[in-house]
Amino acid sequence: MITHVATTDATVTDTEMTQEIHQALAERELTPGEHAVDAGYVTAAHIVTARTEHGIELLGPAGLDTCHQQHGEDHFAQSAFAIDWQTRTVTCPQGVASVSWSDQHKSSGTPIGRVHFAAQDCRQCPLRSHCTNADNGKWGRSLTLLPRDQQQALDTRRQEQLTDEWQQRYHIRAGVEGTISQAVRRTAIRHTRYIGLPKTHLGHVLAATAINIIRFDAWLTETPLGKTRTSHLANLDPAA
Ligand code: SF4
């Protein structure tokens, strides 16, 4: 059942809409216990805010730590470091403690913690080739941490999304994708028939209403679920 329709300019990103959607659902007392979304709607801040402000479990994959792509598989990702939030120190895989933790802000305003290890420690480390090339005379390896609740939510999500259990749970998202696909095919919502956001939004509301009626009718009449569609290209495969 489609319960909320948000229409935006094409330049608005999915991640900008997560909180707005939850707020709109909260105002109508329609917040779900769990919201299955694709990766575009998930940030560490969104996971925490959805949980603490609306009681919603935001179910979607978080972006991966990209340091392996940048530096190779044997590079120490941030997850290899142990963070002690009480003492504001981080211990590296070699057992060395960080020497600096400063509160800073990204250009977007997001607060972050910048953590540094001493260049002297890293310079003589036998694991250095897996860790850092940095040596500006003062600092060796450095890390950027989100606020504690966000960093812990992000680390937890990155770990759990690799498990079979989480993957099974996330299969429910296929139902949302099916609904979107149905709306695209039955109501052609990829292209607006109207000029301007208000009329386009009205068109989307009508399309959502139509889809709800179509799905309700299919449920009442026990219409079998459609099969996964096969592309024209896949149909040409004789082994398929
Ligand atoms: S290079 Fe520095 S931070 Fe990395 S493992 Fe060695 S001592 Fe620790």
Give yes or no for residue 61 CB within 6 A of ligand 1. Answer: no
Beta bridge partners of 58: 35
Cα separation, 115 vs 155, in Å, equals 17
pLDDT at 239 over 70: no
Ligand 1 pocket mutation pick from 98, 127, 139 by most atoms within 8 angstroms of CB:
127
The residue whose CA is least distant from atom 4 of ligand 1 is 131
Mean pLDDT of 182-203: 92
User: How much is the pLDDT for 69?
Assistant: 65
C-alpha 113 to ligand 1 mean position (Å)? 18
For residue 97, what is the DSSP state? Answer: B
Confidence category of residue 232, pLDDT binned at 50, 70, 90:
confident
pLDDT at 54 over 90: yes
130 and 75 Cβ atoms separated by less than 8 Å: yes
pLDDT at 15 over 90: yes
How many Cβ atoms from other residues are within 10 Å of residue 30's Cβ?
Answer: 10
pLDDT at 204 over 80: yes
C-alpha 74 to ligand 1 mean position (Å)? 14
- Domains of the chain, by residue range, sit at 68-150, 172-240
Q: 53-62, 82-91, 177-186, 196-205: which range is least confident on average?
A: 177-186
User: How much is the pLDDT for 240?
Assistant: 57
pLDDT at 165 over 70: yes
pTM for this prediction: 0.84
Cα separation, 166 vs 142, in Å, equals 31
Mean pLDDT of the chain: 92
